[in-house]
Amino acid sequence: MRRIVLTYGLIAGAIVSAVMAVTIAVTRDSVGVLLERGLMIGFGSMVLAFLLVFFGIRRYRDTVGGGAIGFRRAVGVGLLITLVASAVYVLTWQVLYFGFVPDFAERYGEAAVANLRESGASAAAIAAEEAEMARFAERYRNPLFNSAVTFLEIFPVGLVMTLISAAILRR
């Protein structure tokens, strides 16, 4: 099981990490573009990468389980693959953030406030958003907080894919 989990988890993690690195490189100077397009690209890459959860569970079922797997076991295998992929994603973001884009949170906050201004929000709403974004940027410099936020970006997608895959593949 370890080999299957590591193989499929590392491949899934490599896919989302590569897409994230390319997206950050391309949109490095324009966080606004990242907000508009990068989030959809990132989410799409997560869904694509977590298709490997399905194939990993199927591989486990066919090779280790002798063609049969229960829902609980399938969820267990899928969650392990998801955890490996999520860990790779988080580690990649830590390297990118602290090594190449340490001002990302500040620029993200500026882009969010600019979007709020363009939408015609009140001065009070804009001031509140600016304060919230400043607090977030300060907390985001902490590697533990940064890792937790990054993990929460990817893990739910993997969890959903795990549950769907386990339901389809159980026998």
Three-state SS string over 52-73 comes to HHHHHHHHHHHHCCCCCCCHHH
| pLDDT given at position 14 | 98
Domain boundaries, the chain: 2-169
Tokens 């509140």 correspond to 128
Spatial distance between the Cα atoms of 50 and 55, rounded to a whole number of angstroms: 9
Q: Does the pLDDT of residue 34 top 70, yes or no?
A: no
What b/e string do you get for 150-165 counting C-beta neighbours within 10 Å, with b at 16 or more? bbebbbebbbebbbeb
Global pTM value: 0.91
Spatial distance between the Cα atoms of 101 and 21, rounded to a whole number of angstroms: 11
Residue percentage of the chain with pLDDT more than 70: 95
Spatial distance between the Cα atoms of 163 and 118, rounded to a whole number of angstroms: 40
pLDDT in tens, 70-105: 999 999 999 999 999 999 999 999 999 999 989 889
Q: What is the mean pLDDT of the chain?
A: 93
Q: Are 85 and 9 in contact (CB under 8 A)?
A: yes
